[in-house]
Structure 1
Amino acid sequence: MDVLDIARWQFGIITVYHFLFVPLTIGLTAVIAGLETAWVRTGKEDYLRLTKFFAKLFLINFAIGVVTGIVQEFQFGMNWSDYSRFVGDVFGAPLAVEGLLAFFLESTFLGLWIFGWDKLPRGLHAGCMWLVHLGTLASSWFILAANSWMQHPVGYTYNAESGRAELTDFWAVMFNKVQVVTFPHVIFAAYMTAGTFLLGVSAYLYMKKKHEADRPMYHHAIRIGAVITLLAGIGVAITGDLQGKVMTEVQPMKMAAAEGLYETSESCAPFSVFTVGTPDGKEEKFAVTVPCLLSFLGTGSFDGTVEGINPLSEEYVETYGQDPTSKAFTEGDYTPVIPVTYWSFRFMMGLGAFAAAGAALILWLTRKGRTPGVRWLGVLGLSLPIATTLASSWGWIFTEMGRQPWVVFGLMTTESGVSPGVSVFEAATSLIVLTLLYAVLAVIEVKLLITYVKKGADPFEEPPRVKVGGSDEDKPLTFAY
Structure 2
Amino acid sequence: MPSVEILSRIQFAFTIAFHYIYPPLSIGLGLCLVIMEGLYLKTGLSLYKDITRYWIKIFALIFGIGVATGIVMEFEFGTNWATYSHYVGDIFGSALAAEGIFAFAMESAFLGVLLFGWNRVHKGVHFFSTCMVALGSIFSALWIVIANSWQQTPAGYRIEGHDLKARAVVTDFWEMVFNPSSVDRFSHVIIGSFLAGSFLVMSVAAWYILKDKFAKHAQAMFKVGLSVAVVAALLQLFTGHRSAHYVSKYQPAKLAAMEGHYDSSAVAPMYIVGWVDNKNEKTTGIKIPGGLSFLTHGSFSAPVEGLRATPKEDRPGAVNFVFQMYHLMITIGMILIGLTLLALFLLWRKKLFNQRWLMIIFAWAVLLPQIANQVGWYAAEVGRQPWVVYKLLRTSDALSRKVTSDQVMFSLILFTLVYMLLFTLFIYLLTRKIQHGPDVSDNAEIEYDGYYHDNITYHPTKL
Shorter-chain TM-score above 0.5: yes
Cα drift, residue 216 of structure 1: 2.7
Decide whether the 8 Å contact of 1:264 with 1:305 is kept in 2: no
* Within-5 A mapping of 1:7-406: 7-161=8-162, 162-209=165-212, 211=213, 214-267=214-267, 269-278=268-277, 280-284=278-282, 286-313=284-311, 332=313, 334-370=315-351, 371-378=353-360, 380-406=361-387
Cα drift, residue 224 of structure 1: 2.6
Deviates more, 1:165-174 or 1:224-233: 224-233
Cα drift, residue 30 of structure 1: 1.1
DSSP 3-state at the match of 2:302: coil
DSSP 3-state at the match of 2:206: helix
Look up the match of 2:436: 455
1:49 and 1:128 map into 2 onto residues whose CA distance is 17
- Give the aligned residue type for 1:110: L
1:100 and 1:220 map into 2 onto residues whose CA distance is 35
Decide whether the 8 Å contact of 2:54 with 2:439 is kept in 1: yes
| CA gap 1:222/1:281 in 2 versus in 1, 3 angstroms | farther
DSSP 3-state at the match of 1:176: coil
1:71 and 1:63 map into 2 onto residues whose CA distance is 14
Decide whether the 8 Å contact of 1:281 with 1:337 is kept in 2: no
Decide whether the 8 Å contact of 1:223 with 1:362 is kept in 2: no
TM-score (norm 2): 0.92
- Give the aligned residue type for 1:305: P
Decide whether the 8 Å contact of 1:25 with 1:62 is kept in 2: yes
Q: For structure 2, list consecutive stretches of 5 or more residues without a partner in the other structure.
A: 444-463
Q: For structure 1, list consecutive stretches of 5 or more residues without a partner in the other structure.
A: 315-331, 463-481
Decide whether the 8 Å contact of 2:35 with 2:224 is kept in 1: no
Structure 1, residues 317-352: CA drift from partner, whole Å, max 9, x if none?
A: xxxxxxxxxxxxxxx452331011101101111112
- Give the aligned residue type for 1:365: L
DSSP 3-state at the match of 1:273: strand
| CA gap 1:354/1:92 in 2 versus in 1, 3 angstroms | same
Cα drift, residue 204 of structure 1: 0.1
Structure 1, residues 411-459: CA drift from partner, whole Å, max 9, x if none?
A: 1111111111001111111111011101110101111111111111111
Cα drift, residue 166 of structure 1: 1.1
DSSP 3-state at the match of 1:262: coil
DSSP 3-state at the match of 2:155: coil
1:56 and 1:282 map into 2 onto residues whose CA distance is 53
Cα drift, residue 408 of structure 1: 0.5
1:277 and 1:390 map into 2 onto residues whose CA distance is 21
1:300 and 1:157 map into 2 onto residues whose CA distance is 35
Structure 1, residues 447-476: CA drift from partner, whole Å, max 9, x if none?
A: 1111111111111179xxxxxxxxxxxxxx
The total of aligned residue pairs comes to: 440
Structure 1, residues 287-306: CA drift from partner, whole Å, max 9, x if none?
A: 32102221122234434331
DSSP 3-state at the match of 1:41: helix
Structure 1, residues 235-256: CA drift from partner, whole Å, max 9, x if none?
A: 1110110111111000000000
1:23 and 1:300 map into 2 onto residues whose CA distance is 32
2:108 and 2:299 map into 1 onto residues whose CA distance is 46
2:279 and 2:34 map into 1 onto residues whose CA distance is 47
2:94 and 2:335 map into 1 onto residues whose CA distance is 39
Structure 1, residues 376-398: CA drift from partner, whole Å, max 9, x if none?
A: 311x2223210011101111111
What's the C-alpha RMSD, in Å, of the aligned pairs?
1.7
1:187 and 1:352 map into 2 onto residues whose CA distance is 14
DSSP 3-state at the match of 2:438: coil
Look up the match of 2:453: none
1:117 and 1:333 map into 2 onto residues whose CA distance is 56
1:131 and 1:460 map into 2 onto residues whose CA distance is 26
2:418 and 2:221 map into 1 onto residues whose CA distance is 35
Cα drift, residue 40 of structure 1: 0.8
| CA gap 1:2/1:73 in 2 versus in 1, 3 angstroms | same
TM-score (norm 1): 0.88
Identity %: 32
2:294 and 2:221 map into 1 onto residues whose CA distance is 38
DSSP 3-state at the match of 2:169: strand
DSSP 3-state at the match of 2:264: coil
| CA gap 1:435/1:245 in 2 versus in 1, 3 angstroms | same
Of the three residues 409, 414, 421, the one matched with 1:433 is 414
Cα drift, residue 131 of structure 1: 0.8
Decide whether the 8 Å contact of 1:275 with 1:284 is kept in 2: no
Look up the match of 1:411: 392
Of the three residues 423, 429, 436, the one matched with 1:442 is 423
2:176 and 2:280 map into 1 onto residues whose CA distance is 34
1:160 and 1:95 map into 2 onto residues whose CA distance is 23
Cα drift, residue 43 of structure 1: 0.5
DSSP 3-state at the match of 2:88: helix
Cα drift, residue 54 of structure 1: 1.2
1:129 and 1:68 map into 2 onto residues whose CA distance is 23
Cα drift, residue 258 of structure 1: 0.1
- Give the aligned residue type for 2:380: T
Cα drift, residue 12 of structure 1: 0.4
DSSP 3-state at the match of 2:258: helix
